[in-house]
Amino acid sequence: MISTVEDPCAAEDPQVRSAVDEVLTGGRRNGVRIQSVDTVAGTIFPAEMYADTGLAYGLGLGPEELGKLDASAADLYASYTEMLPILTTDTANKSGTYFGRMVSWPGRTGGGINQIADRITRLRRSRDTNRAQRNLEDIAVGGEAELLADCAGLQVYAASDRRERGFPCLVHVDLTLYEGRLSMAATYRHQYLVTKAYGNLLGLSRLLGFLAQHSGFEVGELMVNATFADAEQGTYTKQGVADLLAAARDGS
C-alpha cells in the first residue's frame, strides 16, 4: 500500500483528527496496545521537545541566527539521548526507538551515530552550492546498518530474520532533493492502519519539516510504502473500521 501526502506540513484536518482520536482510547483492545496519535508521532519526531526558533537555514542567515538554529537542533538531540536509558526500560522500546536510532544509532544509548545531523550537513552543502537535485541521503532504522563516513547507510539483515511484526515496522527513510524541494519516502514492513498510520504520517511530516528547515530547502512530498497494510479488523471489527472511515469523511 502506497500513500502520498502532497503538502506534509499543512494544517491537520480537525474532522479526520477527531475521528481518529475518538477510537484511540489508551490501554489495550483485544490484546493490542493503543497509543494516542501524538504518542505515535513522537516516536518518529518528538515535537514537544523541539524549541522551534522560527528560523530556517540559508546563505543570508547571520552568525547569531545560525547559532540559535543549530543550538535548537543540538538541544533536541541532547535532551532525547539523555532520555534513551529511561525510554528503553519500556518493553516496547527494548530495541530502541525510531528517533533514537536516527540520532544515536543503534538507538539504545546516547553516543551513537547521529544520522539526522549528518544528513543536514550533507544537505546544507547542496544548499550552499545551489544544487537543486540529489538522491544520496537515507536514514537507516531497521536491520543492522553499517553507517560509514562515505556511505549514507547500508542495511544488512540476517538470513534468519523472519520477523513480520514488532519493532521496527519502519525500516527505512529515503530523502530526495528535486527542484529545490526535499521529499521523503518511508518504508514500513508492517503498517497498522488504525492504531499507527495517522501518527506515523504526522511524525514523518514533522521530521521532514525539521530537515527542510535546518537544510534550507522547501518541503516536498511524503510517500509511505507499507509492504503489509493491516486494517486491524480483528481489533476494531470490519464495521468499526467502516464507521471510522465514515466519521473521518463526513463527521457522522
- pLDDT score at 161: 47
CB 95 within 8 A of CB 109: no
pLDDT tens column, 79-111 = 999 998 888 888 777 777 899 999 998 767 778
Which amino acid makes up residue 136?
Answer: L
CB 187 within 8 A of CB 225: yes
221 contacts: CB under 8 Å, gap ≥ 6: 4, 5, 6, 8, 181, 183, 184
Tell me the per-residue pLDDT of 196-245, one tens digit each, with 9 for 90 and over: 999 999 999 999 999 999 999 999 999 999 999 999 998 899 999 999 99
Count of domains observed in the chain: 1
The whole domain housing 41 covers 2-157+164-250
CB 35 within 8 A of CB 238: no
Q: Residues 23-78: pLDDT tens digits?
A: 998 888 887 888 999 999 999 999 999 999 999 999 789 999 999 999 999 999 99
